Amino acid sequence: MKNLTQLTTLILNNIESNYIEQIVNHLSSLPVLSSLIIISINTIKNHKNIYYKIFRLPILKYCQLLIELLQCPKSLPVATNEFSTIEHLIINHEISIDQLPILLSYVPQLRRLSIGNLKKPKINRTERDSISLNYLTYISLKLHNVNFDDFEILVTNYFRQIQVLTIAIQYIGFYDNSTQYLNADRWEQLISIHMLNLRVFDFQLSYRGLDSNDERQAFETLINKFNSTFWIEHQWFFDHHYHQIT
């Protein structure tokens, strides 16, 4: 890589994970690298400091990662005086919602964030990090087993400036915990107080196994509450469909 000093974009697609750490260690020899994509074909074994080394790249603006089993190491502290220039971050491998604030602390210039597999917290973090994401206006999340309480804390603490919010959630079965994202009043309160700049709200919620008439009636009762004046004034309209799986 030492001979590629003018390289601005590096795309590593379908790469063996055992090469990733070695490559990341040499990225610092690419002084004008502004766009980085790493997509592995298998799980990574040694993932120590990969995030940190990527965040240290001096002019990186765009970063897309899909590295299975890449975790935010416990040794990675919340950033205090060393920050990344990344403005567009895409993480498509699994990351828990309690790890996300640590990573966000390194990217104060972030404008667009996409997480393809955001999971429930591994630990309960009660402290609030002093992270300012004043430029973050676009967020796309695919949530897996993240309850609304944890999502609400994330929005309240870190996503107050957003203008576009895209969320996709899938549940197997219709039960109490799976209906929390269908609480129209709670959404209205969250948006009215903590997402005042929101103009695009793309919310996709799917259930597998919504079979009985009672379950469908309960589902439709919740959906119909998204027809209040608040939603109409914002021109956010909701629809639902049933699909037979064979």
Domain ranges, ordered by start, for the chain: 71-233
Q: What is the DSSP string of 36-99?
A: EEEEESS--S--TTHHHHHHT-TT--EEEEE-TT----TT-PPPSS-----SEEEE-S-EETTT
Q: Please name which of 113, 117, 115, 120 lies closest in space to residue 177, comparing C-alpha atoms.
A: 120
pLDDT band at 220 (very low <50, low <70, confident <90, very high): confident
pTM comes to: 0.90
Average pLDDT over residues 151-157: 93
At residue 158, the pLDDT reads 93
pLDDT band at 35 (very low <50, low <70, confident <90, very high): very high
pLDDT band at 240 (very low <50, low <70, confident <90, very high): confident
At residue 232, the pLDDT reads 95
pLDDT band at 176 (very low <50, low <70, confident <90, very high): low
